[in-house]
Structure 1
Amino acid sequence: MPERVTAKEIIRQSSQGISVQPFLIRADDNQTYFVKGLSRALGAGLVSEALAAELGAHLDLPIPPWRVVDIPQELIDFSVMDNVRDLEGGPAFGSLQVENASDLLWAKVPDIPAEIKKRVLLFDWWIGNGDRGLGPMGGNVNLILDQSGALQVIDHNVAFDSSLTAEEFRMYHVFRDQLSAQTGELLARLEYLPMLDAAMADWGRITSLLPEEWVRRDSGHGDETEPTLEQRLQLLERFKEDQFWGQL
């Protein structure tokens, strides 16, 4: 179970993020987190964030640690910040702040090691994440560099998109330059399969981390939010099929 923390200060709303702009919050563990609330991101988005963070760890991806963040209603009520009501609705998702981070720019993409590019590319195809687009004219890359210049992988609230096509993915993904030598090769597939198998073997523990309020529509008593956990699992298990690898 990830440590559950309580917000004690709402610092500001981030300018990053298109569908959901998180709030920078200091919690009672004295760490700062970028927090997405249930009212705005909805349960499906918060489930996607948490699942992606846990699954990405099995691919050794540098995804910041996450926490379930409880936000006292009085903290929201006494704030004069715009959009602060986005944090209402129940437990929120918090991603540990990466200090002195900067956005990954197109000019810096060639500096990223090929191996991590391949793993990010595979990861996004696996979890149905089409929200990693970048080109010479810009885009929404959801990748940052820490103060040492190392890559950090963030923002997965729109992942698990079963409608994402191979054509879209190949056209827009920031690391599409790796596709020609990517995972369809036998040796690469053999390298990554154990990682994906291990992640799937951990599915029970991972899903146990999710607050009921994110998984159920009605405070634990309604139907599952969609995509359901079963639908997400079916999407992930595509890696067992040749077609999954052949489309890359």
Structure 2
Amino acid sequence: MMEPVTYKRKLEGKSNAHLITFSDGKDYVVKYFQSGFEKSLPNEWVGYCLGRYLDLPIPFAKIIEIPQEFSSQVPELAEMSKTPYQFASVFVPDCFDGHQAANICRINNYQSLAGVILFDYWLYNCDRTRKNILLREESPRSFKIWIIDHAEVFGGFAWEQADIENLPMSLIKSATHQMMALFIEDEQQFYEQLELIQTIPILLIEEIVTLIPEEWNVSKEEKKAMVTALVTRRNKELPDIMKHFIKTVYRPLHYCIKNLKNLKNSQS
């Protein structure tokens, strides 16, 4: 069984994330269950599992059991929740966040970008900021992108059942989505990703939600509501949201790009 070995440091942000080395020799970003953020770990788990199924660029993660003996020896962890189950994702080194990366000319794994945008709208992740992507430069001005931090899907880290039964259909104000849209070469990619989302087996969604630890205090009624919201939203609401995004965000951006290219060509 993988066990924590060395505590390194607390990471920036409000999600109570800590960098810990485990017995497999890898560093993990570990988020602890905490009062006031009761749904952040369930959100992370569901977001991770669905994102991995869709083959989105999301770091490997798992629910990890951390002995209380380890946490009690670290001042930063000593007052954390007594539940042994936390959420741990592999730390991706040598990356910039969206604020730090400059002069991005190419996203090497651009084929995933339409899927990321639809994924965020499906789960209503209104926290896809520039801090919640990682960019590793693989060649000059060419980057690989990862998506991280899904603590605020379903509209927030402290949602109640009524919240996820009425998730908004409006567009999310996200400069990061706009940046991603610039590198999507064909709007048909949105339709392909929508089809993939809609064909995820319902039994798989139910299994993912069922595996949320009891210690994270998600009731049976809330778990059922999560599944219902995911299935209903992908079939009835996501297609309309996608078309609105393409019309309002994607096409205007690419229209501007096309005009700029034509202008440059005419001046050359």
User: TM-score normalized by structure 1?
Assistant: 0.75
Gaps of 5+ in 1: 135-140, 217-222
Aligned counterpart, 1:174? 176
Gaps of 5+ in 2: 156-163, 246-268
The Cα shift of 1:96 comes to 0.7
Question: How far apart, in 1, do the equivalents of 2:201 and 2:97 lie?
Answer: 28
Query: What does the per-residue CA deviation read over 1:150-176, in whole Å, with 9 as the maximum and x for residues that have no partner?
Result: 11110001101246645450x324123
The Cα shift of 1:122 comes to 0.6
Contact 2:4 2:22 (8 Å CA) reproduced: yes
Question: How far apart, in 2, do the equivalents of 1:199 and 1:180 lie?
Answer: 31
Question: Cα–Cα, structure 1 residues 85 and 118, in superposed 2: closer, same or farther, change >3 Å?
Answer: same
Tell me how large the CA RMSD over aligned residues is: 3.1
AA aligned opposite 1:131: D
Aligned counterpart, 2:106? 111
The more displaced of 46-55 and 160-169 is 160-169
Aligned residues, how many?
A: 225
Could you say what secondary structure the match of 1:57 adopts?
helix
Aligned counterpart, 1:62? 57
Could you say what secondary structure the match of 1:20 adopts?
coil
Aligned counterpart, 1:24? 19
Question: Cα–Cα, structure 1 residues 20 and 84, in superposed 2: closer, same or farther, change >3 Å?
Answer: farther
Query: What does the per-residue CA deviation read over 1:25-60, in whole Å, with 9 as the maximum and x for residues that have no partner?
Result: 112322211001112574421111011111012322
The more displaced of 49-58 and 228-237 is 228-237
Question: Cα–Cα, structure 1 residues 41 and 197, in superposed 2: closer, same or farther, change >3 Å?
Answer: farther
The Cα shift of 1:234 comes to 2.6
Aligned counterpart, 1:132? 128
1:53 aligns with 2:48: yes
Question: Cα–Cα, structure 1 residues 40 and 70, in superposed 2: closer, same or farther, change >3 Å?
Answer: farther
Contact 2:114 2:190 (8 Å CA) reproduced: no
Question: Cα–Cα, structure 1 residues 186 and 32, in superposed 2: closer, same or farther, change >3 Å?
Answer: closer
Contact 1:22 1:36 (8 Å CA) reproduced: yes
Of residues 212, 215, 222, the one that matches 2:214 is 212
Question: How far apart, in 2, do the equivalents of 1:7 and 1:40 lie?
Answer: 23
AA aligned opposite 1:153: I
Could you say what secondary structure the match of 2:199 adopts?
helix
Aligned counterpart, 1:219? none
Contact 1:118 1:175 (8 Å CA) reproduced: no
Contact 1:38 1:90 (8 Å CA) reproduced: no
Question: How far apart, in 1, do the equivalents of 2:202 and 2:24 lie?
Answer: 31
The Cα shift of 1:120 comes to 1.1
Could you say what secondary structure the match of 1:9 adopts?
strand
Contact 1:39 1:85 (8 Å CA) reproduced: no
Contact 1:45 1:157 (8 Å CA) reproduced: yes
Contact 2:54 2:196 (8 Å CA) reproduced: no
AA aligned opposite 2:86: A
